[in-house]
Amino acid sequence: MLSVTCIAPVNIAVIKYWGKRDEDLILPLNDSVSATLSTDHLCTKTTITTCESFAENKIILNGKEESFDNPRLLRCLEEIKKRAKASNKCKPEILKWNVHVKTENNFPTAAGLASSASGYACLVYTLACLYGIENEEISSIARQGSGSACRSLHSGFVQWQKGEHPDGSDSVAVQLVPHDFWPEMRIIVLVVNDARKKTSSTGGMSTSVKTSKLLKYRVEECVPKHTKDLVEALNKKDFETFGKITMQDSNQFHAVCLDTYPPCVYMNDISFAVVNMVHQFNALKKEVKVAYTFDAGPNACLYLLEKDVPEVLAVVNKVFPNDKLGDPEYIKGIAVDLSELPEAQAEFTASGNNLLKYIINTKVGEGPKRID
């Protein structure tokens, strides 16, 4: 019997992946860029055991058995085994044994918090460790579990290169800068809703590819420029440009969602209240101090620098007053001393009470790790 346990991070895109050119191999229409978030606060933990006596493959997700008869899961297992066989790093008989997967996310699953990204990255990395191929290029296998998962295999800021080959061999994730390149970078997630979402990313983007003319323009004209300028800003640690492109790319992605027929509506009134708060804050400061981005759900991810966290949190608490403020479960992640927060400017007014469920204060982090 062999058993391995690993953890893997979530990632949040600043240039969004939306649209596939090959649904089966999960090949994207455009490059995307993300930050890998610290596993100290958000992560998937997966244990995989393999044994000659196991009669079938099994997966237990968050304590509940799920069907293994899932094409994405089967594809990841099959591809890893193929790679392990070719590398000769593992005894061939071991590759014939079934596996038992036990996996847990320490945050809500399928709620637009990128659980499929950390989930499939962890699955593929743990399998790779089990068969001794963890140092090979495995992002192209994680990609076949969930596109965004390929980016969670690296630390720091990561680019998923769309690639050109029809077989997907060059559609891989590469690290742009390591996790400690811009150590002041912080990510604050404002959780508006952590229930399972109605339109999955997979379904939504498939309809966008079929119906949105704006998506074609985005892919051909906008994303290549957004990506080039954002990577340049990242290398120069130019937050103003980094933040502006991040917000513009998120807004364009949601415009594509509305241009989809029938439309995919992921942001809600609370999301737009966050958008207004951020622009009001940046206008008062006369520079881009904080940037928002939204995935396929209403939750906001704010990118900002450490020095601005107290002032931004003071504004968030004024615009979104909450009875749970002070409860340690309300602001999770990196500890915040509420008594040290400054007074928010008089210009900000409350949007309504208890509109946020909770807040996660985190930073850029490392890739998957074996922990057993």
Ligand X SMILES: Nc1ncnc2c1ncn2[C@@H]1O[C@H](COP(=O)(O)OP(=O)(O)OP(=O)(O)O)[C@@H](O)[C@H]1O
Ligand Y SMILES: C[C@@](O)(CCOP(=O)(O)OP(=O)(O)O)CC(=O)O
Chain contacts with ligand Y (rule: CB under 6 A): 13, 16-18, 26, 32, 116, 146-148, 201-202, 295-296
Single residue of 110, 214, 258, 325 touching ligand X by CB under 6 A: 110
Interatomic CA distance for residues 97 and 52, integer angstroms = 5
* Least Cβ distance, residue 109 to ligand X (angstroms): 5
* Least Cβ distance, residue 150 to ligand Y (angstroms): 9
Interatomic CA distance for residues 274 and 303, integer angstroms = 13
* Least Cβ distance, residue 346 to ligand Y (angstroms): 36
- Looking at the chain, the number of H-run helices and the number of E-run strands are 9, 17
47 or 212, CB closer to ligand X? 47
CA distances, 319 to each of 93, 281, 359 (Å): 60, 11, 14
- Identify whether the C-beta of residue 78 lies closer than 8 Å to the C-beta of residue 19: no
Run of H or E including 275: helix 269-285
- Identify whether the C-beta of residue 362 lies closer than 8 Å to the C-beta of residue 38: yes
Decide: is 42 part of the binding site for ligand X (CB under 6 A): no
Decide: is 300 part of the binding site for ligand X (CB under 6 A): no
DSSP letter for 195, please.
S
110 or 265, CB closer to ligand X? 110
Please name the residues in contact with 254: beta carbons below 8 A apart, sequence gap of 6 or more. 266, 267, 294
* Least Cβ distance, residue 296 to ligand X (angstroms): 4
Backbone dihedral angles phi then psi of residue 362, each to the nearest 5 degrees: -140, -175
Judged by DSSP in three states, 53 sits in coil
122 or 314, CB closer to ligand X? 122
Interatomic CA distance for residues 49 and 94, integer angstroms = 11
Decide: is 351 part of the binding site for ligand X (CB under 6 A): no
64 or 286, CB closer to ligand X? 64
Output helix, strand, coil percentages for the chain, rounded to the nearest 5. 35, 25, 40
16 or 186, CB closer to ligand X? 16
* Least Cβ distance, residue 8 to ligand Y (angstroms): 14
- Identify whether the C-beta of residue 369 lies closer than 8 Å to the C-beta of residue 326: no
Single residue of 15, 114, 314, 355 touching ligand X by CB under 6 A: 114
- Identify whether the C-beta of residue 127 lies closer than 8 Å to the C-beta of residue 98: no
| Total residues binding ligand X (CB under 6 A) | 21
Q: How many CB atoms lie within 10 A of CB 82?
A: 12
* Least Cβ distance, residue 57 to ligand X (angstroms): 13
- 119 contact, one of ligand X, ligand Y, none, CB 5-8 Å limit per kind: ligand X
Q: How many CA atoms lie within 13 A of 247 on its CB side?
A: 21
Decide: is 368 part of the binding site for ligand X (CB under 6 A): no
Q: Which two tokens stand for residue 21?
A: 């050119």
Decide: is 111 part of the binding site for ligand X (CB under 6 A): yes
Cis peptide bond prior to 328, omega within 30° of 0: no
116 or 322, CB closer to ligand X? 116
For tokens 């606060």, the residue is 41
- 17 contact, one of ligand X, ligand Y, none, CB 5-8 Å limit per kind: ligand Y
Interatomic CA distance for residues 59 and 62, integer angstroms = 10
Decide: is 200 part of the binding site for ligand X (CB under 6 A): yes
28 or 333, CB closer to ligand Y? 28
49 or 243, CB closer to ligand Y? 243
Single residue of 36, 38, 44, 282 touching ligand X by CB under 6 A: 44
Interatomic CA distance for residues 75 and 165, integer angstroms = 19
Decide: is 208 part of the binding site for ligand X (CB under 6 A): no
* Least Cβ distance, residue 156 to ligand X (angstroms): 19
58 or 85, CB closer to ligand X? 58
Decide: is 260 part of the binding site for ligand X (CB under 6 A): no
- 61 contact, one of ligand X, ligand Y, none, CB 5-8 Å limit per kind: ligand X
Q: Enumerate binding residues for ligand X (CB under 6 A).
A: 44, 61, 103, 105, 109-117, 119-120, 123, 148, 200-201, 295-296
